[in-house]
Structure 1
């Protein structure tokens, strides 16, 4: 089964740690990061797509992607 996640959050160290944790669990970057600026709050938000291939498991919509 091939899994896809899109990790989002403010552009801070916590976001980087979330992406780093995913990479250390075997997820792979899928494309480059995305950025958007929220003018109302003055904050930059990031997003990064990650993918992972998991053998021997069938996809169901109720799985928790973060568990992989």
Structure 2
């Protein structure tokens, strides 16, 4: 029997095995968490510097 693009695979066949989920939880999750925190801390000084010297009056007139 030939496979066609319309043959569907069950979702359970696409799921990774539990051992792989355990390994990824211990390795990938902390790396993603660390990189998210690092990027937020890296973006904060740029956002702070961009807002220096701005007043409430300037922000209000620009939004109208």
TM over 0.5: no
Give TM-score, length-normalised by structure 2. Answer: 0.24
Give TM-score, length-normalised by structure 1. Answer: 0.23
Normalized per residue, which structure has more strand?
1
Q: Which protein, 1 or 2, shows the higher relative CO under an 8 Å CA cutoff with sep ≥ 6?
A: 1
